[in-house]
Amino acid sequence: MLRVGLLGLGNVGSAVVRRLQASAAELAHRAGMPLVLRRVAVAHLDKPRGVHVDRDLLTDDAWQVVRDPEVDVVVELIGGIEPARSYVREALNLGKSVITANKQLMASRGRELLEAAEQAGADLFFEASVAGGIPVIRTLKESLAGDRVREIVGILNGTTNYILTRMDEEGLSFAEALSEAQRLGFAESDPTEDVEGHDAAAKLAILASVAFNSRVVRSDVHCEGIAQLTQREVTYTKEIGFALKLVAHARDLGEEVEAAVYPALLPRGHPLAAVRREFNAVWLRAEAAGELLLYGRGAGGDPTASAVLSDLVAVARNRRYRAHGRVSCTCYHQKAVRSAADRVLAACLVLRVVDRPGVFAQVASAFGEEQVSLHSIVQQSRGDEADVLLRTHPAPERALRSVLHRLQRMPVVRGCSPLLRVIE
Ligand SMILES: NC(=O)c1ccc[n+]([C@@H]2O[C@H](COP(=O)([O-])OP(=O)(O)OC[C@H]3O[C@@H](n4cnc5c(N)ncnc54)[C@H](OP(=O)(O)O)[C@@H]3O)[C@@H](O)[C@H]2O)c1
């Protein structure tokens, strides 16, 4: 029997309990032993729950769960760094295996916790911390163990993908699409974590660490969000055959790795361009397997519970074969993380300029002076102003930023989009 101590009975915790109850026999077959809920910690004992849990199992003191000698595995579904880190650390120190869905925790303290797991001979699994129900961590760690992943492009945040889909398909403004997402429960009342790209950046740090076998932490991931995007960028980039998405992009460059979250243009034929609404997807390029695509629901109680339960079954199987603690930290390289300014990528800018002779030469000179060569230009007149879309060839990010800076200071430039990278 595997005795489970649960920390948190919110969206994910309740779905985990529901599935443990509804699929007990099936899970026992797969795990090789029954998975039994022993204790559950919550913050508010009297809160109504969408699931039935015996009152005797509940406590509002998480330490009681962590330190209970009758708990073999602790499932952390509280979120945030503290006190979750302390609970996880203590459970590992006591030799208990831990499962967590906590991206902030794994993206910033993953190394410490994985080392503690290794020392204790315990498992620390975190499949649910990235892309909810999409089994990407185990795919990288196990299914691709014989290959080398070179590049990851992910749509890892359902809120921003929902907003950009609605701006693209229905012509909504950013504010209209955000308030619709909030109404439908796809966005929080404070959407900062999502729209500024922080949520995707934490997930990318975890993915890049696992994919490239070299530690990438949250603060290594350069991060730009979508709050500055307007309908103008969506419309013009669509006209030249691209979809605008918030992507999490990481590459293994050999000696170095790079990882960033930014709004980017994907050719309409790219598999990620077809990922609509709140769905997530991870596109991978591996040396031998080539291109792979994983697609599904990146959030929600049930999809995330699917990942948590797969980890529980893995912990049970490891206990059965006395193999726990063997798949700990896989970051055996120590590659440097390339600074954002040194990356080389093609980009696109949408400008609103004064429509009179000589203006275009001035705009083009900003690119020439920074040695950034232009790939294509599309101009549309709007009375005494014009919209201009400029797409560059690949250039160092540092040079692209200098171009942007020059353009923003030109009196003839009335408006300028953020830098939109182009994923070729
Ligand atoms: N929701 C998703 O779609 C999703 C997807 C992927 C990953 N995740 C991750 O899964 C984790 C849980 O997310 P969630 O959406 O289920 O969160 P949630 O609905 O806010 O639930 C959090 C739970 O933790 C309990 N809690 C908070 N502080 C506690 C403490 N100090 N001691 C004991 N219990 C405490 C709360 O108790 P009360 O209920 O009594 O207030 C609540 O039951 C987070 O790390 C999140 O990032 C969530």
Give the Å distances, CA to CA, from 39 to 33, 56, 66, 301.
Answer: 18, 8, 9, 20
State how far Cα 15 lies from the chain centre: 21
Using DSSP bridges, classify how beta strands 256-267 and 58-59 pair: parallel, antiparallel or unpaired. Answer: unpaired
Per-residue model confidence (pLDDT) at position 49: 94
User: Each residue of 139-186: pLDDT tens digit?
Assistant: 999 999 999 999 999 999 999 999 999 999 999 999 999 999 999 999
Could you tell which of 6, 12, 311 is best to mutate to test the pocket of ligand 1, judged by most ligand atoms within 8 Å of the CB?
12
Per-residue model confidence (pLDDT) at position 160: 98
Mean pLDDT, the chain, whole residue set:
96
By the 10 Å C-beta count (0-12 exposed, 13-18 middle, 19+ buried), 173 is classed as: middle
188 Cβ inside 6 Å of ligand 1: no
Contact (CB, 8 A) for 17 and 51: yes
User: Each residue of 265-296: pLDDT tens digit?
Assistant: 999 999 999 999 999 999 999 999 999 999 99
Query: What distance in angstroms lies between residue 302's CA and the mean position of ligand 1's atoms?
Result: 14
Active site residue 96: no
Query: What distance in angstroms lies between residue 105's CA and the mean position of ligand 1's atoms?
Result: 13
Per-residue model confidence (pLDDT) at position 424: 82
77 Cβ inside 6 Å of ligand 1: yes
302 Cβ inside 6 Å of ligand 1: no
Rounded CA separation 83/85 (Å): 6
Per-residue model confidence (pLDDT) at position 327: 60
Q: What is the DSSP string of 326-388?
A: SS-----B-PEEPPGGG-EEEEEEEEEEE-STTHHHHHHHHHHHTTPPEEEEEEEEETTEEEE
Q: Which of 96, 103, 141, 203 is catalytic?
A: 203
Overall average pLDDT of the 214-230 stretch:
97
Could you tell which of 77, 90, 134, 198 is best to mutate to test the pocket of ligand 1, judged by most ligand atoms within 8 Å of the CB?
77
In the chain the domains, ranked by start, together with CATH numbers, are 2-133+301-320 (3.40.50.720), 136-297 (3.30.360.10), 341-422 (3.30.70.260)
Q: Could you tell me the pLDDT band of residue 323, with boundaries at 50, 70 and 90? A: confident
User: Each residue of 100-148: pLDDT tens digit?
Assistant: 999 999 999 999 999 999 999 999 999 999 999 999 999 999 999 999 9
Say yes or no to pLDDT of 326 above 80: no
Query: What distance in angstroms lies between residue 416's CA and the mean position of ligand 1's atoms?
Result: 40
Per-residue model confidence (pLDDT) at position 211: 98
Q: Which atom of ligand 1 is nearest to the CA of 78?
A: 24
User: Which phi and psi (to 5°) does residue 75 adopt?
Assistant: -110, 110
Query: What distance in angstroms lies between residue 262's CA and the mean position of ligand 1's atoms?
Result: 27
